[in-house]
Amino acid sequence: MSTLAIKGGSPVRRKPFTEWPIFDEQEEAALLKVFRSGKWWRFAFGQGVELTEPEEGEHSQTALFQKEFAEYHECKYGIAAANGTGTLEIGIRAMDLAVGDEIIVPAYTYVASATCVLQNNLVPIFVDVDPDTYNIDPERIEQAITDRTRAIMVVHFGGQPADMDRITAIADKHNLAVIEDAAHAHGCEWKGKKAGSMSLFSSFSFQAAKNMTAGEGGIILTDDEAFAAECDSMVWSGRRTGRPWYEFHRLGWNYRMTEFQGAILRVQLQRLEKQILHRERMGDYLSTLLDGLDGVSPLVRDERTTRHGYHIYMFRYDEQAIGVPKEKFVDALVAEGIPAFGGYTFGLYRNPMFLNKKFINGGFPLGTEYHEDIDYASFAEKCPVSERACNSEAVWLPQNLLLGNKKDMDDIAEAIEKVLKNKNEL
Ligand SMILES: Cc1ncc(COP(=O)(O)O)c(C=O)c1O
C-alpha cells in the first residue's frame, strides 16, 4: 500500500466533507424578518409572554421555537436560553436542593455537565461509563449513591441515548430525580421515546457544532408546569410571567435567548428530521465498514436506540494491539484528509479546577464540610473506561461528515485501513 500522507505520500482524500452549519435563504429570510421588525428580544412582545400556546403571526420567534421544539420532543414545556451550560444550571437550581447535596454525573462528558452542579453549591460525583457506548454505566451507579445523592444525570453521549430503563429503575428505587443532558441528542430516541422526554428535565445545546445550531443557544424541556415556571423565571432575572416587570421573585439571571436565535432555530428544526435519518444511515454504514477492520471497532449501537443522532461518530482504537499511540494514529488520519479528533484528552476530574477544588469561594461552599476529604484525582481509579477512552481509545468524527454520501464513508474507512496497514511508518 502507498506511503502515508503524513510521511509525504498522497492522501486518500483531498475533497472537503459537507460543511456545517447547513443553511440557506430560509434562515436568511427568517433573520431579515426579525431584523426589519426591530423586535430583537422577547420583551418586545410584552413582558408576559406565555410559556405555552403562542399563536403564529406577530409573535416572539423564541416563544414559538420553545413550543415547536418541546412538541417535537413530546414535552409540554420548553424554556429557551442563551446556551446549554446555562440551561443545565438553571434546571438544577429549580430543583431547590440543599447545599452539599450530590448529583451523579458521567465521567466521560463535557465540563458543563459537572459545573452546572457546582454552580448550585452541589457536589458532582463521577461515575464511569460503559465501554461499549461511553454512556453512564448503570452497573456502577448504585455504588456511588449516598444519603446525600439527589439526582442522576445522564448525558446521551454522541447522540446515543443512555440506558434509560435501568437508570430510571435505579432512580425510582432510591427516590432520585433523573436529569438528561441532551446537548448531543436532538431528535434521538430510546425505544421510540424522544431523548429529553424521560426525566424531570432535559437540557439541549444549540452551540455551533451541535446537530441544530444558531451559533449559541440552549433549551430546557419538562412536563412539570411548576418546574417550567421556575426555570422561566430564572431566565428572566427572577420575574414572573404576568407579574409587573420590576417584581423579582427568585434569584435569577439574564439567560435570555435573542429573537435572532429563535428565528434561526425554527428553520433548523425543520431540517432536523431529514438530517437525523441521513446521519443515521451513514453512521450505521460506516460501522459495517469499520467492523471489518482489525484494531478499530465502532461503539455499539444498543438495539433499544431507535434513533441515533450520531452527533459524534466514535470508534475505539486498540492502542495496545496496534502499538502506535492514539495521537499519532489520529494525526496520520488527519493527514489522509479525514478530520478525526482524539476527543477529551484526559479525565474531566483531572482538570486543575477539580484537583485544586477551585469552586465557589475558592473551594466547596459552606455547608459542604462533609466533602472536605473528597479527592477528585481518586476518580481516575474509579473510572478506568473513561481513562482509557481519553488516553488511548476514543476517536471522534464530527457529525457533518455523516451528512455526506456513501463514498465519503468509504474514504473514511479506506484512510483508517491505510494508516493501520502502514503503522510501521509511524
Ligand atoms: C455534553 C454537553 N453538555 C453541555 C454542553 C454545553 O452546551 P453549550 O456549549 O451550549 O453551553 C455541551 C457543549 O458542548 C456538551 O457537549
In tens, the pLDDT along 322-364 reads: 999 999 999 999 999 999 999 999 999 999 999 999 998 888 8
**What does the pLDDT average to over 232-253?**
90
* Residue type for position 258: T
pTM: 0.97
422 CA to middle of ligand 1, Å?
Answer: 37
Percent of the chain with pLDDT strictly greater than 90: 90
At 370 the pLDDT is: 82
Going by pLDDT thresholds of 50, 70 and 90, the confidence category of residue 372 is confident
Minimum CA distance residue for ligand 1 atom 16: 110
At 365 the pLDDT is: 77
**Nearest ligand 1 atom to alpha carbon 218:** 10
**Nearest ligand 1 atom to alpha carbon 88:** 4
CB atoms within 10 A of CB 12: 23
84 CA to middle of ligand 1, Å?
Answer: 5
Minimum CA distance residue for ligand 1 atom 8: 84
208 CA to middle of ligand 1, Å?
Answer: 10
151 CA to middle of ligand 1, Å?
Answer: 19
Residues 6 or more apart from 16 whose CB is under 8 A from it? none
CATH number of 25-269: 3.40.640.10
Reference 423, options 292, 290, 319, 291; nearest CA is 319
**What does the pLDDT average to over 24-28?**
98
Mean pLDDT for the chain? 95
**What does the pLDDT average to over 387-416?**
98
At 241 the pLDDT is: 83
Residues 285 and 373 sit within 8 Å (Cβ to Cβ): no
Give the angle 309-312-316 at the CA atoms, nearest 5°: 120
Domain boundaries, the chain: 25-269
* Residue type for position 230: E
378 CA to middle of ligand 1, Å?
Answer: 25
At 47 the pLDDT is: 61
At 373 the pLDDT is: 85
**What does the pLDDT average to over 14-41?**
96
Residues 220 and 85 sit within 8 Å (Cβ to Cβ): no
The H or E element spanning position 153 is strand 149-155
104 CA to middle of ligand 1, Å?
Answer: 17
Q: How far apart are CA 171 and CA 372, in angstroms?
A: 26
Q: Give the SS3 label for residue 395.
A: strand
**Nearest ligand 1 atom to alpha carbon 181:** 3
Residues 5 and 416 sit within 8 Å (Cβ to Cβ): no
Which grid coordinates are listed for 289? 465498514
What region, left, alpha or beta, does residue 237 occupy, with left being phi > 0 and alpha being psi -120 to 50 degrees?
Answer: left
**What does the pLDDT average to over 367-372?**
80
**What does the pLDDT average to over 119-123?**
94
Minimum CA distance residue for ligand 1 atom 14: 110
126 CA to middle of ligand 1, Å?
Answer: 17
At 24 the pLDDT is: 98
**What does the pLDDT average to over 284-296?**
97
Q: CA–CA distance from 175 to each of 103, 149, 168, 227, 320 (Å)?
A: 13, 9, 10, 18, 42
| Pocket residue to mutate for ligand 1, from 85, 157, 202, most atoms within 8 A of Cβ | 85
Positive or negative, the CA dihedral 200, 229, 79, 122 is negative
**Nearest ligand 1 atom to alpha carbon 157:** 1
216 CA to middle of ligand 1, Å?
Answer: 10
Pocket of ligand 1 (CB under 6 A): 83-85, 109-110, 112-113, 155, 181, 183-184, 205, 207, 218
Residue 190 has pLDDT above 80, yes or no: yes
**Nearest ligand 1 atom to alpha carbon 217:** 10
Going by pLDDT thresholds of 50, 70 and 90, the confidence category of residue 218 is very high
**Nearest ligand 1 atom to alpha carbon 155:** 1
Give bridge partners of residue 222 from the DSSP assignment. Answer: 77
Residues 48 and 242 sit within 8 Å (Cβ to Cβ): yes
CB atoms within 10 A of CB 361: 8
Residue 255 has pLDDT above 70, yes or no: yes
Percent of the chain with pLDDT strictly greater than 70: 97
At 125 the pLDDT is: 97
Cis ω on the peptide bond leading into residue 21 (within 30° of 0)? yes
At 48 the pLDDT is: 52
| Pocket residue to mutate for ligand 1, from 205, 210, 257, most atoms within 8 A of Cβ | 205
302 CA to middle of ligand 1, Å?
Answer: 23
At 20 the pLDDT is: 98
Residue 212 has pLDDT above 50, yes or no: yes
Q: What is the pLDDT of residues 46-87, one digit of tens each?
A: 765 454 445 555 688 999 999 999 999 999 999 999 999 999
